[in-house]
A and B are shown apart, each in its own frame.
Chain A
Amino acid sequence: MALEGVNMSRASDFHVLIIGGGATGAALAHDLALRGFRVTLVERGEVTSGTTGRHHGLLHSGARYAVRDPESARECIEENFILRRIAPDSFELNDGLFVAITEEDEAYLEPFLEGCEACGIPTQVLTREQALQMEPNLNPKVRVAVRVPDGTMDAMRLPLRFLATALSNGAVVRPFTEVVDLLRRNGTVYGARVRNHITGREEDLLADVVVNAAGPWAGRIAAMAGVDVPVRPSPGVLVAVEGRWTNMVINRLHPAGDGDIIVPQRGLSIIGTTSWVVEDPDHLDVPPDHVRRMFEKGAEMVPAVGRARLWAAWSAARPLVGSREASTGRELSRTFKCFDHASEGVEGFVTIVGGKATTARAMAETTADVVCRKVGVSAPCRTREVTLLPHTAYYDLLTTQGF
């Protein structure tokens, strides 16, 4: 038995190429670098320019999914507590409220509390008066509120901390580098042909394992390997209004729907979101009726938000896992899936899709475990314990790579 370890391969013998510089790719680069792999991450634009940077900035308690999507809810609350530990000073930790405005909302209280308890999400039921004391701008019609451990993150700067730490452990990050094709021989993916948009040059990057972490573009990358992944780009409209009208994250106490969350961030309040399904994540529009709906629904929870000046309205495509039949995206789970395409006859190629910004670290852990298994390396995950470098270190370390 003792000899088993001697025969194990070393992580440093293997090079892993990660496609996609969003939260998932960033957390994966960090995880693999900590385990000792040689890692290169390529991103076609600036890092976090796809879906990651565009989310509302919610550090999820998971409460939103506790009733209908408990798997995702459990992932969120577990990761929420891990992130607080490994990324101190990254979050506005003011907690969140689920507020009941109507009688119908109030009827949802019981299943909501049961769901949260089953998923391990701490809750505190607050009276109308208690809630208004914490958040005087809440709709005075609020009937009851539930406090949960939500928070606010900076959608770009948290992934930059993963990338900074990955760089410090030897990973190479290459923004503005687009994959134009995968290199394949006898059913094995052994690298990618990339185009550097700064120099205009194309080159081949060889790798023992290629990981497709392209989010809503994952289907396009998988097609280069001749495999299909069930990713559904599901855009949502988000609206930022001027003014910080609450300090806590405000959620509507009812099943997930349009305009059911207000996330305060810096001097703004961000209202989210709508949900539909598209074929091409490079063609997103911002339907004006969705923007109006965000104002209306947001104002039901915090009336001042409905009168505030529009700061920005934009769309982001969630990379949900689901069947082609999905029509709105609401019916799809927020959990994630990692596919080892060896089961479809393609070696050297792994896809990770789904998930949320809050669960990026867990997605990376699962994916890195798959990579380890594929190449026969035994190296435990260490990302639950290691404190991340500050986001500013990303740019310091990138300089040393000759950006």
Chain B
Amino acid sequence: MRRKFRVFRYKPGWSRHRYETYMVDLPDTATVLEALIRIRRDQAPDLTLRHSCLHGSCGTCGMRINGRERLACLTPVAELPDPITVEPLYNLGVVSDLVVDVPAFYEKFTLIERPLLRRSEAPAQGRPPEGIPAFTRLESCIECGLCLSACPVVATDPYYLGPAALAAAWRLVEEPRGKDPAAILALVDDPHGCWRCHLAMECSEVCPTGVHPAQAIVSLRATLSASPKMLSQEENPTHA
């Protein structure tokens, strides 16, 4: 299929961004990421974009596709109308073309020192072999920044902790893994923390891996409202 792409272009020093149009021949199953890689290969060698795993595990190819936050590697071209407009994520600052300021994401995300490994919940019936106390897996959040881009509060409050960090905080309260949930709750119990969210729910809508940050924020609020004094005594306040 031959498809038309409108791609956001910006380089340091330009007075403003512009859109370039590219026509691309693609296999029927192609994703937006494959299309962009072909555009870079054949038409625009200076086009900068981030990608790595090509299957929604690394979180590097987050962008706005026809106005919506998506992972380009999981977005089939066939389901989109022409022209396909591709723009960088909002709210992180643009470095070059589709590349945003990734360190800005981690500045807040790493305030919550959530381990990468968690208890595995599926398949539920499996019993680990001798020597492995419990099956574990990597956390679902792939740090793609889609939730930050879609959040109307992040757009207006530079101090807001944001949906990704708050979802990570809830994961620690849910499964402390040796950390102190009371300290995490104290950190998010702030006007720019979990109370700042307006429940627009956009974060959960765009999350590609089902983390559901909005639900996490509501759970943090419920836990803080319930019985703050019990928190330091309970290992897992959600079960209190």
Task: Determine whether the beta carbon of B60 is less than 8 Å from that of A156.
Answer: yes
Does B74 contact A311, Cβ atoms closer than 8 Å? yes
When the two chains form their complex, are residues B106 and A396 in contact, meaning their CB atoms are under 8 A apart? Answer: yes
Which residues of the partner chain A approach B210 to less than 8 Å between Cβ atoms?
Answer: 267
Report if A137 contacts B (CB, 8 A).
yes
A interface: dominant SS: loop
CB-defined A-B contacts under 8 Å, sample of 15: A49-B60, A53-B60, A155-B57, A155-B58, A176-B48, A176-B99, A244-B122, A244-B123, A244-B137, A247-B135, A266-B137, A312-B31, A392-B106, A395-B102, A395-B105
Of the listed residues A157, A200, A311, A403, the one surrounded by the most CB atoms of chain B closer than 10 A to its CB is: A157
- Distance between B133 CB and nearest chain A CB, rounded to angstroms: 11
Tally B residues with Cβ within 8 Å of A: 54
* Contact of A176 with B126 at beta-carbon distance under 8 Å, contacts A93-B136, A197-B48, A395-B103 already known: no
- Interface stretch, picked from B82-90, B108-116, B152-160, B187-195, is B108-116
| Interchain CA distance A236-B54 in the complex, whole Å | 13
Residues of B within 8 A of A155 (CB): 52-53, 57-58
The residue in chain A whose Cβ has the minimal distance to the Cβ of B54 is A314
A288 to B110, CA, bound (A): 40
B41/A156 in contact, CB under 8 A: no
- Whether B233 sits at the interface, judged by CB under 8 Å, is no
Q: How far is the CA of A27 from the CA of B116 in the complex (A)?
A: 21
A49 touches B50 (CB 8 A): yes
* Residue A399 lies at the interface, judged by CB distance under 8 Å to chain B: yes
Chain A residues in the interface with B (C-beta under 8 A): 45-49, 52-54, 57, 89-95, 124, 126, 133-137, 147, 152, 154-157, 176, 197-200, 238, 240, 243-248, 264-268, 270, 282, 285-286, 288, 311-314, 316, 390-392, 395-396, 398-399, 403
Q: Are A197 and B54 in contact (CB under 8 A)?
A: no
Instruction: Return A383 CB to nearest CB of chain B, in Å.
Output: 21
Closest 3 A/B residue pairs (Cβ)? A53-B52, A312-B55, A314-B54
| Interface status of B183 (Cβ within 8 A of chain A) | no
B66-110, CB under 8 A of A: which get 1 and which 0? 000000011000000000000000000001100100110110011
Question: Once the chains are docked, how many angstroms separate the CA of A214 from the CA of B50?
Answer: 18
Expressed in whole angstroms, the minimum distance between the Cβ of B190 and any Cβ of chain A is: 22
CB distance from B63 to the nearest CB of A (A): 13
Q: Are B52 and A48 in contact (CB under 8 A)?
A: yes
Q: How far is the CA of A286 from the CA of B37 in the complex (A)?
A: 14
Q: Is the CB of B55 within 8 A of A270?
A: yes
Q: Is the CB of A136 within 8 A of B136?
A: no
Q: How far is the CA of A184 from the CA of B24 in the complex (A)?
A: 38
Which of B27, B58, B99, B128 is the one whose CB lies under 8 Å from A247?
B128
- Given A49-B52, A54-B53, A286-B29, A90 contacting B103 (CB threshold 8 A): no
What's the minimum C-beta distance from B227 to chain A, rounded to whole angstroms? 32
Measured CB to CB, the closest approach of chain B to A285, in angstroms, equals 7
Provide the residues of chain A in CB contact with B110, threshold 8 Å.
Answer: 392, 396
Q: Does B1 contact A (CB under 8 A)?
A: no
Q: Which residues of B lie under 8 Å from residue A134 when comparing CB positions? A: 126-129
B11 on interface, CB distance cutoff 8 Å: yes
The reply on B209 being an interface residue by CB < 8 A is yes
A45–B27 alpha-carbon span in the complex (Å): 23
By the criterion CB–CB under 8 Å, are B123 and A245 in contact?
yes
Contacting pair A311 B123 (CB below 8 A): no
Q: Which residues does chain B contribute within 8 Å of A137, judged by CB atoms?
A: 123, 126
Contact status of A247 and B137, CB under 8 A, knowing A155-B52, A395-B103: yes
* Residues of A contacting B106 in the complex (Cβ-Cβ under 8 angstroms): 392, 395-396
A154 to B139, CA, bound (A): 11
Which residues in chain B, 39-65, are within 8 Å of chain A measured between CB atoms?
Answer: 41, 45-58, 60
Cα–Cα distance between A49 and B103 once the two chains are bound (Å)? 18
Report the minimal beta-carbon distance from B32 to chain A, rounded to whole angstroms.
12
Q: Which of A46, A247, A399 contacts B60 (CB 8 A)?
A: A46
Q: What is the distance, in angstroms, from A188's C-beta to the closest C-beta of chain B?
A: 29
Most buried by A among B52, B126, B137, B140: B52
B69 smallest CB distance to A (angstroms): 18
Residues of chain B contacted by A157 (CB below 8 angstroms): 58, 116
Q: With a 10 A CB-CB cut-off, give which of A154, A265, A288, A398 has the most chain B CB atoms.
A: A154
Contact (Cβ within 8 A) A198 B58: no
| A403 contacts B103, C-beta separation under 8 Å | yes
B52's closest neighbor in chain A, by CB? A53
Within the complex, the shortest CB–CB distance from B123 to chain A, in Å, comes to: 6
The yes or no answer to B240 lying at the interface (CB within 8 A) is no
Cβ contacts under 8 Å, A200 to chain B: 11, 46
Q: Is there an interface contact between A94 and B123, defined as CB atoms closer than 8 Å?
A: no
Interface code B220-237, partner A: CB below 8 Å = 1, 0 otherwise?
A: 000000000000000000
